[in-house]
Amino acid sequence: MEALRCLPGVGPKSASRMAFHLVERDRVGAERLAHALLAAAEGVRHCRRCRNLSEAELCSVCADPARDASLLCVVETPADVLAIEQATGFRGQYFVLMGRLSPLDGIGPSELGLDRLEARLDEGQVRELILATNPTVEGEATAHYLAMLARERGIRSTRIAHGVPMGGELEYIDGGTLAHAFSGRREV
């Protein structure tokens, strides 16, 4: 039970429920989970090229020759890569910051591996840098900084669209998003 509490969202009650379930009813599942955890804890590292989580030295996206190296999408976390892979037909490559610029927390360009990103931009293959950081204050600041890096090298940078979410209703959207959606309207 004590060990299970390291899982996010698991308190004492859930931990004891999980522990009893595994011990009383699913010992095979418990063993499989143990092996998977060991393998992950030992084997998962960061892709040398994009900093995403990966078991090999190069992640599956970076290792895939069919992916378009001229499109580079910058995201904050590996979960964002997963979301984009599942939702869109994006066929380019990624760079995972593993965070966002946050000077107050001591997170600057070097903590985000931006030297590696700069080196990659300098290679000359990237033609479009897609800034897919979150539309939070820190995510926006990070996007601005990255856009500057791209501009210095004459590379085009684009920002994913912000506005009313699909299926949403104007009436219930927050004012900031509505103002953004309004000023960012596009020709039909």
Contact flags string 113-132 toward a second copy, x per CB under 8 A: -----------------xxx
What does the alpha-carbon distance between residue 160 and residue 33 come to, in Å, rounded to a whole number? Answer: 37
Contact 83, 146 (CB under 8 A): no
Q: Which is nearer to a second copy, 14 or 134 (CB)?
A: 134
Q: Which is nearer to a second copy, 34 or 79 (CB)?
A: 79
Please state the φ and ψ torsions of residue 157, each to the nearest 5 degrees.
-125, 140
Query: Torsion-angle region of residue 100: left (phi > 0), alpha (psi -120 to 50) or beta?
Result: beta
What sign does the dihedral 94-97-98-99 (CA atoms) show?
negative
Q: Which is nearer to a second copy, 123 or 187 (CB)?
A: 187
When asked if residue 157 is in the footprint of a second copy (CB under 8 A), the reply is yes
Contact 177, 163 (CB under 8 A): yes
**Residue count at the site for a second copy (CB under 8 A)?**
54
Of 3-11, 29-37, 54-62, 151-159, the segment contacting a second copy by CB under 8 A is 151-159
Bridge partners (DSSP) of residue 95 are 74
Contact positions with a second copy (CB under 8 A) in 15-74: none
* Contacting positions for a second copy (CB under 8 A): 75-77, 79-80, 82-84, 86-90, 130-132, 134-136, 143, 147, 150, 156-171, 173-188
